[in-house]
Homo-oligomer: A and B are copies of this chain.
Amino acid sequence: MTASPTPLRRADRARQVADVLRQQIHAGTVTDALPSEAELAADYAVSRNTVREALGLLRDEGLIDRAPRVGTHVTQRKFDHGLDALRGLKETLRGQGEVRNEVRAATRLRPPPAVARRLRLSPGESVVYLERLRFLGDLPLSLDLTYLVPDIGAEILDRDLAGNDVFALIEEISGGPLGSADIALEAVTADAHSAATLQLPEGGAILLLERLTRLEDGRPVDLEYIRLRGDRLTMRGNLVRPTDTGRRLI
């Protein structure tokens, strides 16, 4: 069957151009000044109006700045967060700058029933609740809400929460490595209060990561709700084709 598509509008072509340019900015292929409108129009085989619309989309995302005479410049680079392995933010950003945490809460509390179930707690058991705003240098990157099982949590309250990943502290306290984590990743629009806390423009996009982490023996110990700034972090990974779906025709 041959498809009979409708002709694309300029907004569609602008999206095409913007997507490829966005990837080049993230990859560092385009680092500071972007090529001129005329060069981009030639590269992408589109009109200069389409180029301007594409650059407008990237400007609205906060990726680039445009000014008469000065041209178009990259204003911010994003940091990569791995989807291939279980790592804390400080481990992930090693070599990129200092990660520090502003501790907004560190307390024992009675968990909501849904949290108690996921951490397999008995009725009446408390959790340790942490709330941390996490910075790379002066830049707020994520807001993390953390529920810890009581035995590990009690010891974590005595540690340096401002300077460490919770993962590293759990491994110190439990005396062994973490096992694995179930993650769920969503894109949500930032509510006003979360946006202000993360110094994100209101209505900005957030990667909301829910992560239930287990020790090597399978016991869940750490349930986290993490808001990552969409304009600052990209999740990257590699997916392998499962053999049951591949049609091995050869």
> Would B162 and A105 count as touching, CB distance under 8 A?
no
Chain B residues near A171 (CB-CB < 8 A): 246-247, 249
> Would A189 and B189 count as touching, CB distance under 8 A?
yes
Given contacts A86-B241, A114-B24, A5 and B107 within 8 Å (CB-CB): yes
Among A105, A129, A159, find the residue whose CB has the most chain B CB atoms closer than 10 A. A105
Question: Which size class do A's interface residues fall under?
Answer: 35 or more
> Would A178 and B241 count as touching, CB distance under 8 A?
yes
Residue A48 CB within 8 A of the other chain: no
Copies of chain A in the complex: 2
With A and B bound together, what is the CA distance between A71 and B185 in angstroms?
A: 29
Residue A166 CB within 8 A of the other chain: no
Closest to A233 in B: B186
Residue A155 CB within 8 A of the other chain: no
With A and B bound together, what is the CA distance between A107 and B83 in angstroms?
A: 33
Known: A14-B193, A21-B114, A177-B245. 9 other contacts (CB 8 A): A5-B103, A20-B112, A23-B114, A23-B184, A61-B189, A182-B236, A187-B230, A203-B203, A205-B230
The 25 sampled A-B contact pairs (Cβ below 8 Å) are A1-B161, A4-B103, A5-B107, A12-B104, A15-B194, A19-B145, A44-B112, A60-B191, A83-B185, A85-B241, A85-B245, A86-B240, A175-B249, A176-B249, A176-B250, A178-B246, A180-B238, A180-B239, A183-B237, A184-B236, A185-B237, A186-B235, A187-B205, A189-B230, A203-B203
A contact set with B: CB distance below 8 Å: 1-6, 8, 11-12, 14-17, 19-21, 23-24, 26, 29, 43-45, 57, 60-61, 78, 83-87, 91, 103-107, 109-110, 112-115, 129, 131, 145, 157-162, 168, 171-172, 175-189, 191, 193-194, 203-208, 210, 216, 225, 228, 230, 234-243, 245-250
